[in-house]
A and B are shown apart, each in its own frame.
Chain A
Amino acid sequence: MQYLVSVIHDSDALADSDEMAAIDAFNDKLQAQGSWVFAGGLAAPEASTVIDNRGESPVLTDGPFLETKEFVIGFWIMEAPDLDAVLQLAAEGSRACNRKLEVRPIR
């Protein structure tokens, strides 16, 4: 079972050095125990472009599809047997990166 673990924050500031060290250690642990699938940090929502090509030609719109005070600023994809297991990892991840996380199952 895979889960998308999104990092939620109200600023696009990069992690500071303490946070970065904690994230590295956490990622090492995920990889060592086989929970790691993928992870990435994201640019600010203003850098995004929405494209809709369901009509005759692609329509491009500047900015995120939804303007919100808090937004996704990074993510992990984790492998875990069930929600309890991934929540335990996410609790550690939230502590490491010092941000809120949203856990969502991938179908």
Chain B
Amino acid sequence: MTSAAEALTRAHQQEWARVVGSLTRRFGDLDLAEDAAAEAFATAVETWPTDGVPPNPGGWLTTTASRKAIDRLRRERKRDGKHQEALVVHDDSPPEPLGPVDDDRLRLIFVCAHPALAMEARVALTLRMVGGLTVAEIARAFLVQEVAMARRITRAKAKIAAAHIPYRVPTAQDLPQRVDGVLAVLYLVLNEGYLASGPDADPLRPDLTAEAIRLTRLLRELLPDDGEVAGLLALMLLTEARRPARVSADGELVSLAEQDRGAWHADLIAEGHRLVRERLASGRPPGRYQLLAAINAVHTDARDVRDADWSQVVALYDQLVRLDPSPVVALNRAVAVAEVDGPDVALAAVDRLADALTGYRAFHATRADLLRRLGRSAESRAAYDAAIALGGNAAETAYLSRRRDRLAPPR
């Protein structure tokens, strides 16, 4: 019995995207593919425990889902009462190698993360079609009503069908840009799990970070030569490795400097470092994710925060600023500058970002910390208040409140 349950879980993780992908290619209809895949898995839940696990679970699921899809098309044709063009496209030939790498799952990923869809639709669709999460799970993850999430996914599928978003891997020429779009989706999933956004959300969402990592591993398997894919995977692993130390027993966020490094996942750190080294050895200029991964590699390299090579971190941020001159990157760079050139130099850099980042919690939290270190308690307190007023999750608020309350009392 347990083995059937285990086989189902494994099949769901390993085969869902493949089943949806191969049905989408065969029938040219995401909606049909999704429903038929869900029905096939439901049938497996019913039959595998009694009939036993089929020798080739993936093949069984694809065949079962195809039959369900054909049944549905027949039913719909009968119900419509008129002769329609044969909707079933019999295409059992292997897909034509249109892109540099071809795989039904890869096609599926590129459709779901298509730049013509709104970002929130791309995230939802990717988690549903590629990740196999249920609509209810995705709705919960993003604190959205299930009905609203279902509508978002339905609307995205309708646009894909109506606008003829092609089911194929982009051409070599378009690939880097399109991969970037996919990585943005996966990074967003990771970030929501890394530090959930609402005050009512659990501060850390290991289900989401795990899903982001699983999907990025899949993408890396499909595009092993893409440096940015490797970079994002490394960044995710090095981030996830620190999760056990990031929230204290009483639910407060723990800063990097205060984290118990012994609690970090050593195996994830080792894998992340290996990927970063591999990218460095390639000698090719790193992209954004590779640089972020390298920064995290430096952070996770030191046994103690005092041993961290901050000038290396600043140098990496300098490279990142050239690729992405956004105020958020400049803010993060300033945090590293504080360790090299002192909090006064960093504060001057942070204050220059005031116009752009006044609504950004981390801006006020960073200022508060720098002001505290400069002994400017009253200003620091005001900055902590501003950060808290912007309302993060409970663990962030607890952390900021404690830091604020530790300041010298106002005279």
Contacts and interface: CB of A to CB of B under 8 A. Distances in A.
Contacts of A103: 163
Contacts of A82: 164-166
The B interface, classified by DSSP as helix, strand, loop or mixed, is loop
Interface residues on B, range: under 10
Contacts of A1: 164
Contacts of A85: 166
Interface string A81-101: 111110100000000000000
A88 to B, nearest CB: 8
Contacts of B166: 81-85
A84 B162 contact: no
B165 to A, nearest CB: 5
B1 to A, nearest CB: 47
Interface string B151-172: 0000000000011111000100
B116 interface: yes
A54 interface: no
A41 interface: no
A81 B174 CA distance: 17
Contacts of B174: 84
Interface in B100-133: 114, 116
A83 B114 CA distance: 10
Contacts of B162: 105, 107
B41 to A, nearest CB: 30
A21 to B, nearest CB: 26
Contacts of B165: 82-84
Interface string A60-87: 0000000000000000000001111101
Residue in B114, B164, B165, B174 with the greatest tally of chain A CB atoms within 10 Å: B164
Nearest to A80: B164
B170 to A, nearest CB: 7
A73 B87 CA distance: 39
A1 B165 CA distance: 11
Nearest to A105: B163
Interface string B234-259: 00000000000000000000000000
B348 to A, nearest CB: 39
A107 B174 CA distance: 27
Given A83-B164, A84-B166, 9 more contacts: A1-B164, A83-B114, A83-B165, A83-B166, A84-B170, A85-B166, A87-B116, A103-B163, A107-B162
Interface of A: 1, 81-85, 87, 103, 105, 107
Query: Lowest 9 A-B CB distances belong to which pairs?
Result: A82-B166, A82-B164, A83-B163, A105-B163, A83-B165, A1-B164, A84-B166, A83-B164, A105-B162
14 contacts: A1-B164, A81-B164, A81-B166, A82-B165, A82-B166, A83-B114, A83-B116, A83-B163, A83-B166, A84-B166, A84-B170, A103-B163, A105-B163, A107-B162
Interface of B: 114, 116, 162-166, 170, 174
